[in-house]
C-alpha cells in the first residue's frame, strides 16, 4: 500500500488580478500558507506559466519548480481542461466555447480545434519537462447535446460521435505515451466522457490506450447518482488523479438530477466545500490507499455558499486529516507464534515429509 500525497490545491478557481493570486510566486506562497504541499497548475494561464517555454525548455521548467519549492510546495500536475474541451465541440456550443480560445480564432471552429490540440500537445511536453508523469484534461463533447434520447436518437449517431472523438484524441494519446505522460480525463457532465460506460466506449475505440486514464472526482458522480465507491473498484487501474471535491444531492418534489435550470444555490444537486457535502471521503481515501493509488489528493474548491479562501484553508486541513499513513506491518503481528513450515504441517495434522515422501501439492 502507498500513502497518498497531499494535500494539493487546484489553482484554477483562485487565479485573479489581485495579489497574491496574480503571480505564480504569490499564489504558491499563499497555498503553502493555507497548508498545501502541492499545486495543480492550469497550463493555459499565462500568469502561472509560459506554456511555449515550458514545452521547449527544461531550464525554464527547473526555474518554475524552484519557485514552487521556495514557496514550500511542488507542482503536482498540469491541467489542460479548457484546451481539452476545445478538441471536440458540438456546433451548438461554438459561440459559448469561443470565449475559451484566443480572440483571433473566434468564429473559426477548425482553427480553434487545431490550436487546442497544439495546446494539449504542449502541455504533455511541459509535463515531461517538469518531471511529471500525468496531466489532466477534459475530453470535449460531440454527442452531449443528445444525452437524453428525445426525440429518439438516429441509429449510429452516438457511435459516429465516439469514433470521431477517438480519432481526434488518438495522436495526442500516442504523443503522451512517447513522452511518458498519461492523460487523466476528468469524468464530468458536459463531456462525452461523463461516466464509466462512456469512458469504456472511448477506450474501446483507442484500443485500450495505456495513456488514457481517469481523473476521479466523486462530486460529479454523486450529482449523477452513480455509485462513486463501486466506481473505484471497477476502474482502479485507470484512475491516475483525484480531486477532493464535495457535493450534495437533495431532490425535491420540484426538481432532481437535471436541476430545473436553477442557479447553483437553488439546485437539488450542488457542489460544496470539502466536508460540507454528502461524499463519504473516509471510504474513498481507504479504497484509494488499499488499491495503491500513487497520486495526489488535490482539492478542487467549488461551493455555492462558502467564500473560496475559507474553503481553501478548510480543504487543506480536511484532506490532510483524511490521508491514511499506511502501516509498516500487520496490526496483529504482536501475536505471531513464529511458526515455520514444519509447524504449519503439524497444525494441519499432516506429517512432515520424510526422505521418500512427496511434498504436499
DSSP annotation string for 52-118: HHHHH-HHHHHHHHHHHHHHT-EEEEEEEHHHHHTTSB-GGGHHHHHTTS-GGGTT-HHHHHHHHHH
**Strand ranges for 182-316 from DSSP E:** 182-186, 212-216, 239-244, 246-249, 269-272, 296-299
State phi, psi for 287 to the nearest 5 degrees. Answer: -65, -45
% residues pLDDT > 90 (the chain): 91
Query: What is the CB-side half-sphere exposure of residue 253 using CA atoms within 13 A?
Result: 0
pLDDT tens readout for residues 82-140: 999 999 999 999 999 999 999 999 999 999 999 999 999 999 999 999 999 999 999 99
Cis peptide before 331 (omega within 30 of 0): no
Take residue 121 and report the three cell numbers written for it.
Answer: 500537445
Average pLDDT over residues 224-242: 98
Quickly name the fold that domain 5-332 has.
Answer: TIM Barrel (3.20.20)
CA 76 to chain centre: 11
pLDDT at 338: 78
The confidence score (pLDDT) of residue 358 equals: 57
Phi, psi of 209 (to 5 degrees): -55, 130
- Mean pLDDT, the chain, whole residue set: 95
pTM of the model: 0.93
Beta bridge partners of residue 249, listed in sequence order? 269
- pLDDT above 70 (res 150): yes
Q: Can you give the pLDDT at residue 359?
A: 54
pLDDT tens-digit readout, 304-361: 999 999 999 999 999 999 999 998 877 777 777 778 888 888 889 997 666 555 555 5
Cell of 9: 490545491
Cell numbers linked to 334: 504482536
CA distance 236 to 214: 9
**Mean pLDDT calculated for residue range 215-220:** 98
Domain locations in the chain? 5-332
Amino acid at each position: 500500500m502507498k500513502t497518498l500525497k497531499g494535500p494539493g490545491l487546484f489553482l484554477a478557481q483562485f487565479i485573479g488580478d489581485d495579489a497574491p493570486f496574480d503571480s505564480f510566486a504569490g499564489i504558491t506562497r499563499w497555498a503553502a500558507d493555507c497548508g498545501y504541499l502541492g499545486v495543480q497548475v492550469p497550463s493555459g494561464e499565462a500568469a502561472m506559466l509560459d506554456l511555449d517555454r515550458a514545452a521547449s525548455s527544461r531550464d525554464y521548467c527547473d526555474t518554475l519548480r524552484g519557485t514552487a519549492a521556495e514557496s514550500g510546495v511542488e507542482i503536482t500536475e498540469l491541467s489542460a481542461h479548457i484546451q481539452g474541451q476545445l478538441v471536440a465541440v458540438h456546433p451548438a456550443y461554438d459561440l459559448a466555447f469561443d470565449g475559451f480560445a484566443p480572440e483571433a480564432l473566434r468564429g473559426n471552429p477548425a482553427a480553434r480545434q487545431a490550436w487546442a490540440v497544439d495546446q494539449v500537445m504542449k502541455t504533455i511536453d511541459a509535463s515531461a519537462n517538469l518531471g511529471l508523469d500525468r496531466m489532466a484534461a477534459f475530453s470535449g463533447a460531440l454527442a452531449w447535446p443528445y444525452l437524453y434520447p428525445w426525440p429518439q436518437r438516429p441509429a449510429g449517431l452516438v457511435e459516429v460521435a465516439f469514433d470521431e472523438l477517438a480519432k481526434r484524441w488518438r495522436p495526442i494519446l500516442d504523443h503522451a505515451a512517447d513522452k511518458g505522460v498519461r492523460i487523466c480525463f476528468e469524468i464530468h457532465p458536459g463531456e462525452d466522457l461523463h461516466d464509466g460506460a462512456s469512458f469504456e466506449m472511448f477506450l474501446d475505440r483507442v484500443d485500450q490506450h495505456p495513456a488514457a486514464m481517469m481523473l476521479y472526482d466523486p462530486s460529479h458522480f454523486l450529482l449523477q447518482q452513480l455509485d462513486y465507491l463501486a466506481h473505484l473498484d471497477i476502474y482502479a487501474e485507470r484512475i491516475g488523479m483525484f480531486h477532493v471535491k464535495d457535493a450534495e444531492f437533495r431532490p425535491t418534489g420540484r426538481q432532481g438530477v437535471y436541476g430545473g435550470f436553477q442557479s447553483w444555490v437553488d439546485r437539488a444537486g450542488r457542489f460544496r466545500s470539502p466536508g460540507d457535502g454528502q461524499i463519504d471521503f473516509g471510504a474513498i481515501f481507504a479504497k484509494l490507499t488499499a488499491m495503491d493509488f500513487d497520486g495526489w489528493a488535490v482539492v478542487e474548491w467549488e461551493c455555492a455558499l462558502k467564500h473560496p479562501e475559507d474553503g481553501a484553508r478548510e480543504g487543506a486541513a480536511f484532506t490532510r486529516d483524511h490521508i491514511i499513513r499506511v502501516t509498516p506491518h500487520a496490526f496483529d503481528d504482536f501475536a505471531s507464534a513464529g511458526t515455520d513450515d514444519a509447524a504449519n504441517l503439524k497444525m494441519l495434522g499432516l506429517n512432515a515429509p520424510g526422505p521418500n515422501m512427496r511434498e504436499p501439492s
